[in-house]
Every structure is written in structure tokens, then in C-alpha cells.
Amino acid sequence: MTIARHLRDPVSLARLVWKNVCFPFTPQAAELRYDRKLGIDTSGFVVPDELGVGEGEGRAYMGTPPGIAHFLIGRIAQRARGFTFLDVGSGKGRVLLIASRFPFRKVVGFEHSEQMNAVAASNVRQFAKHYPGMAPVEIVGGDATRLPLPEGPLVMFLFNPFGPGLMREFAASVKASYQQSPRKIICLYYNALFPEEFDRLGIFAIREQVQTPRDRTDRYIKMKMPTVLLETADR
């Protein structure tokens, strides 16, 4: 009877086919499966108006594909052993969770949205049930362009968290922090739309364009997001 009813309603039938035949093979479905396996909530797309930050300050939330985050962090993890890992614009905390499985001293997230921070904190608590040996995770609320960077050797991860103006301000804060306390800083800049803001600082001795792997959760795979790895000189 249910099938017959759907056959009489083309719209209902199309929805049924999408839900049961098409959707399971989409990146969105793969993302939901990733979350479900761990009991966390890092998936989805959240528009700036729903982030609860001031007008013009927020960018839409979408999590870094987990396979890509794991690949990029793995590229530098061994030589950054004992560093602090900082995710700038940490959202729901997916990258924080992935980084916490690597040998960092601690993992820090800068995020302006209180709603995102609440979700991230819940995710950290849930993740710790699966991985009790994970690195300590700290979530810091506020404007990342004005928050002081963690001291000591640092890995920074950015997934296009700012427009050009705020990116310029953040880059300037990175340079000021480095000049005040010269140290090794490694920057992983995924979806690097404004790499020139870091290039012009004059503090990064190494710049590498990174080819990221395919990830079945990547709903924007056709965009071929550029990734740049930057490093200051050894200290």
C-alpha cells in the first residue's frame, strides 16, 4: 500500500528515491556516518546568520573533511611533536578532535560563535570516551584577530576562516607574536583564498603548495580547494 501511494504522488516518490537510493552515496551522508560512528556532531553547513556573531564577522560553518584534516596534520605531526596545535575558527571542533590524536602538547580552538563552542565542547567530552589518551583540548571564545596566540612552538590550522580584511588583521597578529617571541610556527592553510596576506609578512621561510587526497565526505570536491603549508625558520 505504501509503494502504491508513492506511485500516485510523483513528488513523494522522488523524495523516497532520493532518501533511500541517492542520498546514502552523497558526501553529506558519509559525513553523517562519520559523526554517528563517534557519537558526535561536526557535520552540516551553518550560515553566518545562525552563528550568533556580529554582522560581517562570521563565515559559514562547514567542517574540514576528516580525511583531509588527518592527512594535513599527519604531514607535520612528527616534526611538530610537543607543539601546541591551534585551529583558527574551530567551529564544531572536528579538527580539534582529529588533532588530539596526534602527539601535540595541547590542542586549542579559537572560535567567535558561542553556539559552535557549546557544540564543540560536547563533542570533546564525547570523543574522550573513545580516546581517553587524547591530548588536552581547550576552546577559547572570541575574535581570533585579537586573541593572543599560544606561546611556544605552534601549528596553526585555518580553513578559510576570514574574509580579506580580517585575514590581513590576523596575519598581522601572527607577525607581531612571532617578533615578540621568535619560534617555530607551522601554518596549514586549507582553502587558501588569501595566502598573500601571509606571504607579505616576511617571517615564513618555507612555502609549499600541498595536494590533498580525495575524501568521500567532501561536498565541495569539485572546487579543488588550494592548500598552502608555511613554516618559519627553525629555532
Cell of 87: 585551529
What is the per-residue pLDDT across 27-49, written as a single tens digit (0 to 9) for each?
A: 889 999 999 999 999 999 888 88
- In the chain the first and final C-alpha atoms are separated, in Å, by 72
Q: What is the average pLDDT value for the chain, to the nearest integer? A: 89
Residue that the C-alpha cell 557519537 belongs to:
39
The reported pLDDT for the residue numbered 219 is: 77
The reported pLDDT for the residue numbered 5 is: 54
The reported pLDDT for the residue numbered 140 is: 98
What is the per-residue pLDDT across 102-132, written as a single tens digit (0 to 9) for each?
A: 999 999 999 999 999 999 999 999 999 999 9
What is the per-residue pLDDT across 150-185, written as a single tens digit (0 to 9) for each?
A: 999 999 999 999 989 999 999 999 999 999 999 999
Contact 94, 88 (CB under 8 A): no
The reported pLDDT for the residue numbered 235 is: 63
Assigned architecture for domain 45-232: 3-Layer(aba) Sandwich (3.40)
C-alpha distances in Å from residue 144, one per residue of 27, 121, 207: 30, 18, 23
CA angle, residues 60, 41, 138, in degrees to nearest 5 = 80
Supply the pTM of this predicted model.
0.88
Q: How many CB atoms lie within 10 A of CB 9?
A: 11
User: Boundaries of CATH 3.40.50.150 in the chain?
Assistant: 45-232
What is the per-residue pLDDT across 48-85, written as a single tens digit (0 to 9) for each?
A: 888 876 555 567 888 999 999 999 999 999 999 999 99
